[in-house]
Amino acid sequence: MGRIVVSDNVSLDGVIQDPAGDEGFERGGWVGLIKDRPGVSKLALDDALEAEALLLGRRTYEWFAGRWPSRSGELADRLNSMPKYVVSSTLHEPDWNDSTVLEGDAANEVFTLRQELDGDLLVPASFQLVRTLMEHDLVDELRLKIYPVVLGDGKRLFGETRDKKPMRLVDTKTIDGDVAFLTYEFVRDA
């Protein structure tokens, strides 16, 4: 059975919206250029190399598909060649190679996919999908890169849930001098 691993950039106050600054959010661009952060760049490559596939929401899929096919380098090569699954009720014919659309109920589709795969399904960004997966207890691990900025506004990674979601901190690192990299595992009832 596969594992669902969420890997996200988050501001100190929990905002996930527009980290790169190209979505039009007035406070976007808060991560800076990833190429200027070698440690963060290496984390992105390590995540991609360790994953069996990407799992994306439609908006994140379109953002990635609009950028990565034309790029080169080790990360681009990995992202372009690995299987990609996009949860969407509106996207029917994805054009990024090796992409499959999961239609229907997101939780059921991902649960089934997770049963079929052996490795990690990496979920970058995709905060709406992440919220759905968390609500249905489908996330196994959170990898959060927490940037030292308070935005005060914007869409946050975590939304309301029906119940608490206990986690266990399993690793901490400081990346590029000021980014906290925290890894959490979800604690399941015994």
The predicted-structure confidence for 108-121, as pLDDT tens digits, reads as follows 999 999 999 999 99
Cβ atoms 122, 4 nearer than 8 A: no
pLDDT tens per residue, range 82-98? 999 999 999 999 999 99
The CATH code of the domain that includes 181 is 3.40.430.10
pLDDT tens per residue, range 171-185? 999 999 999 999 999
State yes or no: pLDDT of 190 exceeds 70. no
Strands 51-57 and 120-124, sheet pairing: parallel
Range of the domain at 168: 3-186
Report H helices in the chain: 38-50, 58-65, 74-81, 106-116, 127-135
CA 83 – CA 121 distance, rounded (Å): 10
CA 177 – CA 124 distance, rounded (Å): 22
Total domains in the fold of the chain: 1
CA 71 – CA 66 distance, rounded (Å): 10
State yes or no: pLDDT of 68 exceeds 80. yes
pTM score, two decimals? 0.94
CA 151 – CA 14 distance, rounded (Å): 9
pLDDT tens per residue, range 12-45? 999 999 998 888 899 999 998 777 899 999 999 9
How confident is the model at residue 77, as a pLDDT? 97
How confident is the model at residue 108, as a pLDDT? 96
